[in-house]
Structure 1
Amino acid sequence: MSRIRQVPRLTRARWCLLALLLAVLGGHYVVLEIQQFANPHAAGVDFAVYYRAAQRIAHGGLLYSSPPPCCFSNGTMDGRYTYPPLFAFLLSPLSALSIDDAARIWLVVCQLSLAAILVVALRAAPARVGREGVLWYVLAIVGSSSVL
C-alpha cells in the first residue's frame, strides 16, 4: 500500500516565512556590502588597526606599542594592535595600497571566506536536516552577518 505524503499547512507557512526572511535579510546584506564597498573607510576601526599594523611591519617598524600609564585609563585600546604578528605580516602586501583600496580587497576576501564557510557547512550538514533546515542555517548566517 502506497502512502502519499501530505505537506501540512504549517510547513507551507514555514516555507513562506523562510523565503520572506531570506529575501529581506539577503537584500539588506547585499545593500550593506555595496555601501561598504563604495565607502570602505567608513566601515569602522578594525580594518584601520590591521592596516596600520601591516604598514608598520612592511616598513620595519614596531608592531606593538607600550600601553598608556596605568593600563587602560580611558577603557579603550586607542586603536592599538593586539593580534598575533602573523596576521599583520599576512596583510602587509595590502599596505602598498591606499587604505580604501586595501579595505575593498579585504571586503572581497571576507565575502569569499563567508561563501566558503557556507559551502563547507552545507556540504557537511547531515541529510536528515533537509532542504528547509539547510535554508534556515543559511538564513542564520546571512542574518548574523548583516547585523555584524
Structure 2
Amino acid sequence: MEAVIAKNEEQMKDAFYVRKEVFVKEQNVPVEEEIDELENESEHIVVYDGDQPVGAGRWRLKEGLGKLERICVLKSHRSAGVGVIIIQALEKAAEARGVSGFILNAQTQAVPFYEKQGYKVSSKEEFLDAGIPHLQMIKYRSF
C-alpha cells in the first residue's frame, strides 16, 4: 500500500470517494458537511492498494499546528494498517512545512487508535461533530 499527496483531480476524486463511503454512507454525515470550505487550503493524502483508493485524510495549518482531519479507511481495509499509513503520511507532509505539533478531533471510539500513534486527549469533555462524539487530541514531535 502506498500513500500519495493528492496533486491532481483524479487523486482528489479518490480521496472524496473514500470519505463519502465512510463518513456519508456509513456514518450518515451530510455530504455538504463532509465536503467543506477548507478543502482548498488543505493538503490531501490518499492511500492506494494497487490502483484502488482505500484510505484518505487531510491536514492544514491551524494556529501553528498541523490539524489532521477527515482520516478514514474503507471497511474492507480496516485493521490492515492503513490508518497508521495515513497518520504517518499526514505528519510527514506537515513536518515538511516546518510543523512539529499536531492536533485532531478524534471520534471517541477511535481514541485508543490515536493514543497508539502518540496522541493525548487534550479536551476536557466530549463534543459533537456531525452528531458524532469527539475528543480533541494533540501530539508534539521531539527531534
TM-score range, shorter chain: under 0.3
The alignment's TM-score, normalised by the length of structure 1, stands at 0.25
More strand, by proportion: 2
In the superposition, the TM-score normalised over structure 2's length comes to 0.26
The structure with more helix, counted as a fraction of residues:
1
Higher relative contact order (CA 8 A, sep 6+): 1
